[in-house]
Amino acid sequence: MAGVYAFTFIQSADRNFDLVVDKFRAKRTMLMNSQLDPLTALPNRKFMKTRLAELCKSVTPFAVLFLDLDDFKIVNDTMGHGAGDDLLLQVTARLKTMMRETDLLARVGGDEFAVLQVPAKSKREVVALAERINQQIAAPYRIFGEKAVIGVSVGVRLALGGVNEPDEVLHRADTALYNVKAGGKGGYSVALD
């Protein structure tokens, strides 16, 4: 009788353990999904803004680069949404090759990305990254056997840690991006204080 009881107890404990593990996995998956873009698996806007708020409180100098793909809509509209998704994945792969371990690359909208360059030691270093991004993203893509060419506009805000408000940093980077777009796309602009 004691053996049956022990066996039943062990089975019950195993089921309870499995339930706890499943619940933990479900919570972890929900948390990851709330912080990651489902297509690219990059951090999303919410995650990026949380990290930006942390940086604004630190003493580490950093830069925010807002990236908006030029002519993405043309590819998406003429070749289809599957082609648009493939293009976004290829863009993501190219951007990842330019990131340092300390940088954060996020997808913050349909064809919009953001980079938190941490640390950003100088304006020259940040501009060099913006130029590399412009050059790499402008190289032709192969999508479903066809050639596609797009560009990227980059708005940059260089910030000293500990003296910035996250909304102000984002606004300045966004304004710099708008200036590039108004000037004809395919370049970068650095927000001035």
111 is catalytic: yes
Alpha helical stretches, state H, 58-152 = 72-79, 81-98, 123-138
> 129 CB contacts (<8 Å, ≥6 apart)?
63, 65, 98, 115, 117
In this predicted structure, what is the pLDDT of residue 34?
83
Residue 108 one-letter amino acid: V
- CB-based contact 43:36 (threshold 8 Å): yes
Which tens digit of pLDDT belongs to each residue from 115-150? 999 999 899 999 999 999 999 999 999 999 999 999
Among residues 71, 111, 167, 193, the one annotated as catalytic is 111
CA–CA separation, 107 and 45 (whole Å)? 7
In this predicted structure, what is the pLDDT of residue 136?
97
In this predicted structure, what is the pLDDT of residue 87?
97
Query: Which residues in the chain land under pLDDT 70?
Result: 1-7, 9, 11-33, 161, 163, 193
> 119 CB contacts (<8 Å, ≥6 apart)?
60, 61, 62, 102
Strand partners, 67: 113, 154
In this predicted structure, what is the pLDDT of residue 17?
59
Q: Interior CA angle at 105 toward 164 and 60, to 5°?
A: 35
The topology (CATH level 3) of 45-190 is Alpha-Beta Plaits (3.30.70)
In this predicted structure, what is the pLDDT of residue 178?
95
In this predicted structure, what is the pLDDT of residue 7?
65
In this predicted structure, what is the pLDDT of residue 106?
98
**β-strand pairing of 141-143 with 188-190:** unpaired
- CB-based contact 130:65 (threshold 8 Å): yes
Exposure string over 43-64, b if 16+ CB within 10 A, otherwise e: bbeebbbebbeebbeeebbbbb
What ranges do the domains of the chain cover?
1-35, 45-190
Strand partners, 18: none
In this predicted structure, what is the pLDDT of residue 164?
78
